[in-house]
C-alpha cells in the first residue's frame, strides 16, 4: 500500500525519490529485517566473552554518576589523617620536643603538607583500580583488600607513636605498613600503572618515616614497666 501510494505521487519519476522509497520499503520488509537480525545475532555470538564483559561493565559504570565514587574514595584516607592530626597536635608541642631526633628529620610543618598530598594520591589511585575492575568485584578482593589493610595500619601508627608513646611497637607497625604498601603496588601494577605510580611517593615517604622512627627508638630508650 505504501509503495503504491508513493508511485502515485507526481514526483515519482524523480530518481532520488525512488531511491529513498526503496530504502524505506526495504527496511519494512519482514524477510530483510529477519536477515539483519540474524546477522547481528551471529556477530554477537562470535564476539569474545572478554569483550562482551568489558562492554557490559563499561555500560554499567557509565550509567552511574562517577563523581561520587571518585570524591568518596579520594577523601577516605583523609578521615584517618584528621584523627591523626588531632592526636598529634598536642604531643608535638610537649612530649615530641623532649625526644632525641636526628638532624636530617623533616621540619614539623612539612608533615601536614606531605600527608595531604599522599592521602589524596593513594585515594585517587584506589578509585582508578576500583573503576578498572568494575567496582567491588571478586577480582578487586586482593588489590583493594591490601589497600584497605595498609590504610588501617596507616591510621593506627599515630595513636601508637604519639598517643601511647610506644616507640618500639610503632617501629614494628610501620615496617609492616611499608611492606603492605609494597604488596599493594605489586597487585595494582597489572591493573593500572597510573595508580601504582601514585603510591610511589607514599612508599618513599614511609621509608623515610621508618628510618626516623628507628632513630628515635634507638636514641630514646623506653622505660621498662614494672
Residue 121 confidence (pLDDT): 98
Dist. CA 158–CA 168, nearest whole Å? 13
Q: Which residues contact 99 (CB under 8 A, 6 or more apart)?
A: 216, 219, 220
What would the grid cell of residue 83 be? 584523627
Q: Which domains does the chain have, with CATH numbers?
A: 2-46 (no CATH), 57-219 (1.20.1260.100)
Taking the CA of residue 179 as centre, how many other CA atoms within 13 Å lie in the half-sphere pointing to its CB?
6
Residue 64 confidence (pLDDT): 55
Q: Is 199 in contact with 161 (CB distance < 8 Å)?
A: no
Q: Compute the C-alpha angle 216/177/151, nearest 5°.
A: 120
pTM: 0.71
Residue 216 confidence (pLDDT): 98
Dist. CA 167–CA 161, nearest whole Å? 6
Dist. CA 47–CA 12, nearest whole Å? 43
Averages of pLDDT over runs of 10 residues in the chain (226 residues) are: 50 47 47 43 44 43 73 96 86 94 94 96 98 96 98 96 96 98 98 98 98 98 68
Concatenating the DSSP letter of every residue in 20-49 gives HHHHHHHHH-HHHHHHHHHHHHHHHHTS-H
Dist. CA 85–CA 115, nearest whole Å? 10
Dist. CA 26–CA 80, nearest whole Å? 65
Phi-psi region of 134 (alpha: psi -120 to 50; beta: other; left: phi over 0): left
Q: Which residues contact 125 (CB under 8 A, 6 or more apart)?
A: 188, 192, 194, 195, 196, 198, 199
Sign, Cα dihedral of 57, 62, 63, 67: positive
Dist. CA 148–CA 180, nearest whole Å? 10
The count of residues in the chain is: 226
Q: Is 74 in contact with 67 (CB distance < 8 Å)?
A: no
Amino acid at each position: 500500500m505504501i509503495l503504491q501510494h508513493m508511485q502515485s505521487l507526481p514526483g515519482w519519476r524523480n530518481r532520488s525519490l525512488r531511491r529513498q522509497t526503496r530504502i524505506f520499503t526495504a527496511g519494512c520488509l519482514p524477510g530483510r529485517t529477519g536477515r539483519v537480525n540474524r546477522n547481528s545475532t551471529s556477530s554477537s555470538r562470535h564476539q569474545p566473552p572478554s569483550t562482551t564483559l568489558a562492554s557490559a561493565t563499561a555500560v554499567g559504570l557509565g550509567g552511574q554518576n562517577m563523581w561520587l565514587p571518585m570524591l568518596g574514595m579520594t577523601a577516605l584516607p583523609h578521615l584517618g589523617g584528621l584523627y591523626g592530626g588531632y592526636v598529634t597536635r598536642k604531643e608535638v608541642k610537649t612530649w615530641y620536643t623532649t625526644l632525641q631526633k636526628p638532624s636530617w628529620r623533616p621540619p614539623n610543618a612539612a608533615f601536614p603538607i606531605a600527608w595531604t598530598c599522599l592521602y589524596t594520591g593513594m585515594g585517587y589511585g584506589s578509585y582508578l583500580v576500583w573503576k578498572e575492575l568494575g567496582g567491588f568485584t571478586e577480582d578487586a578482593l586482593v588489590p583493594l583488600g591490601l589497600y584497605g589493610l595498609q590504610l588501617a595500619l596507616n591510621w593506627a601508627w599515630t595513636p601508637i607513636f604519639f598517643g601511647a608513646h610506644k616507640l618500639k611497637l610503632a617501629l614494628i607497625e610501620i615496617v609492616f605498613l611499608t611492606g603492605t604498601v609494597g604488596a599493594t603496588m605489586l597487585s595494582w601494577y597489572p591493573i593500572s600503572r597510573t595508580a601504582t605510580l601514585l603510591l610511589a611517593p607514599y612508599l618513599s615517604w614511609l621509608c623515610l618515616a621508618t628510618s626516623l622512627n628507628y632513630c628515635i627508638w634507638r636514641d630514646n630508650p623506653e622505660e621498662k614497666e614494672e
